Chains A and B, each alone.
Chain A
Amino acid sequence: MHPIFVLLRKDFALFFRDRAAVSLTFLVPFALIYLFGQVFGVNRKDSGPAGIAFAVVNQSADPAAARLVDALKAEKTFRVITQFVNPDQTTRPLAEPDLLPLMRANRFRFALVIPPDLLAGDRIGLHLKFLTDPLNDIETQMVTGILQKTIFSNVPQLIGRSWQARARQYLGSQNAHDLNHRMADVITSFYGGDRDEMVRRMESGDFGLSGLNGTKDSDTAPAANVFSRLVRIDTEQVAGQDVKSPQATRLVGGWAMQFLLFALSASAIALFYEKDQGLFRRILSAPVSRAHILWSKFLYGVCLGLIQLVVLFFAGRVLFGIDIAPHLGPLVVVCAFAAAACTAFGMLLAAVAPSAESARGLATFLILLMSAIGGAWFPVSFMPEFIQHLSKLTLVYWSMAGFTQVLWAHASPVELLPTLGILAAMTAAVLAIAAWRFNKGRIFE
């Protein structure tokens, strides 16, 4: 046999003896493609965003306002929050002063206030107040569009009632009533129909405007133009107004986390080198315990990760103008917690994998997966709801939350505590599993 074929056969023989390589080549792609398909909503009928937390404060006594709230609740894009949960777990209706603190705490990024003067007599149209934290640009545009669609398509009679109220203010109740009757007379004389029913519908604000909401896109566009002039939405951005480089600030957390995960996983996988070199045997023959080795590795990873993150954010400052200087203290704290979580993840990989090669394959698989479902690539809210729940189990999600809280919302140290607490808990849990596996495994033998 030609030497090339002998060597080729040798390589295949080696490949098929490496179970980790075989599984990475054949099984992992199937798992990865399936999971990414789920993340990106491939072949799902309802592939749009779902379950975006959306707070609604209804200050209006008008039944139509309640219908608007119901319509928003029926929209699958939103998870409508109308109740405030007290510390003792009792609830009360959400009030406008509750919104800003809760938005700063990242409980939700969008809120609608339906004011008492929803249908004020001094103007035509609706008055609504919309609060946004446009942490993610695409998500914000999507939410705004769906909010407008929901208002326009579900409660057009609110606008008719607004007209009636204006008419009564200017003409007086009797004259407005007479006007409705005369309009009904003219319409029925030309087009026929039930005059009394028409008067009743006009006085209830139903001018048949819902007919403007066509199902085709070409029909919807003019309707939107008409309504957008009639629905006054006062939009208020509650966070990120003064961010100097919004796009880069939004993205930097995701970049940072992927970079950090790959770097620290590689660092942890270096444990196999020390094992193979017999260095652990020598170190453990000194007055050194396994815990000493693991803690030193953990602290090394945290320090390395912290330095890498700080350098990365500094590069973001130099290259893209990300404003880090005013928030350096909290940023370093979040970086330290993120680095700790990533280091623990890397150590877990080294603890569960039988060899450096399989650890590297597993790292690639898990880092890509965590980045995707953790929101490093695109908004979590665009993913199916079960993936959204899964994303909250990833350190990518919470690390990014910490970065954006600091750089976007300029959160105070106290406001950062919940996120840092979750990251610390994840780190502790992952580290405990890793330590248990290290002690059960043979890396120190």
Chain B
Amino acid sequence: MLALRSVIKRYGALTALDDISLDISPGEFFGLLGPNGAGKSTLMSLVAGLGAPDAGTLTLDGTPLSARNTETRRALGLVPQHLALYLALSAEDNLRIFGELYGLRGAALSQRIDEALDAVQLNDRRRDPVKTFSGGMQRRLNLAAALLHRPKLLLCDEPTVGVDPQSRNAIFEYLEALNRDGLTIIYSTHYMEEAARLCSRIGIIDHGRILALGPLDELLAQLPFEEEIRFPATPATTPLAASLAVHGEIFAADGTHRFRPRADYPLSAFFSLTESRALPPRLFTSQRPTLEALFLHLTGHTLRE
């Protein structure tokens, strides 16, 4: 459906996208995971036709996407990172404006507005100015505005920034329902739990390059360990940490030791060591590999850095 080939985008000396190639299939819920400044919004902008790449091509169903080709944008819906709404106008007026920009008119537009407001549970506030809405309500309307014209591909650029948990959940459920109905979605986020929950395939992006690409399970399988054992970094545990270094990877972060044992190192051996040092079992927690661990493994830094 969407194909990016060797896409490069520079802003002066900064290379925001560095030789990106990517294919998105119809009906896919694709997650673009990376920290702030990784290139997620730049990639979204190029797909949305808001800019032109310095090199490479972008096509949607074989048609080149470009800033000049406005017609291909009818197939796209963008949920921008900012609340791109006219706050002084009502919810209905906002939707009418954005619907008309896509060529919707008359009864068809009114029907789409009703459906969209129902879907994001804002029908009872349709005539209220958007500035009187809570942050979560504004985010939901932001999403509805991108769906009025029933796009084939929805681009969600960090659509839950600053949203309360209740509204976030409502947005997730709505997106999941849309995807089940066949809508292709590209979802950029720096929240790993969002990508893990929503996306059938994830691309991890940093410094303008896609570092890993695939379903969540496949990505996690790239990690050289299956489990991570954590325990407090205290004088009592320091000798244990030193002795574990030969059995896997161990490092301290935020006052916690993280031990990633080699695949051939049995957990029984680990607990024998702790018992011999009289360290109580409650100090130790075990975690399955996460996207955060994968990101750390791939980049050497955390998503928040």
List residues of A whose CB falls within 8 A of some B CB.
277-279, 281-289, 444-445
Contacts and interface: CB of A to CB of B under 8 A. Distances in A.
B238 to A, nearest CB: 42
A304 B70 CA distance: 29
A441 to B, nearest CB: 13
B73 A281 contact: no
A282, A285, A288: most-surrounded residue (chain B CB, <10 A): A285
B103 A284 contact: no
B145 interface: yes
A277 B78 contact: no
B102 to A, nearest CB: 6
Contact of A281 (B68, B74, B82, B87): B82
A445 B49 CA distance: 11
A281 B80 contact: yes
Q: Which 7 A-B pairs have the closest CB atoms?
A: A278-B82, A282-B84, A285-B78, A286-B101, A278-B84, A285-B48, A287-B70
The main secondary structure of chain B at its interface with chain A is loop
Contact of A287 (B84, B87, B101, B145): B101
Nearest to A289: B70
B50 A284 contact: yes
A445 B48 CA distance: 12
Interface string B48-87: 1111000000000000000010110110111011111111
Contact of B51 (A278, A279, A288, A445): A445
Contacts of A287: 70-71, 73-74, 101-103
A290 to B, nearest CB: 8
A284 B76 CA distance: 11
Given A286-B73, A286-B102, A287-B103, A281 B51 contact: no
A284 B84 CA distance: 12
A279 B145 CA distance: 12
A357 B135 CA distance: 27
Contacts of B103: 287
B98 interface: yes
A282 B145 contact: yes
B102 A285 contact: no
15 contacts: A277-B82, A277-B85, A279-B86, A281-B45, A282-B98, A283-B101, A284-B48, A284-B49, A285-B48, A285-B73, A286-B73, A287-B73, A288-B101, A445-B45, A445-B50
Given A277-B84, A285-B48, A285-B49, 5 more contacts: A281-B45, A282-B98, A285-B80, A285-B155, A287-B70
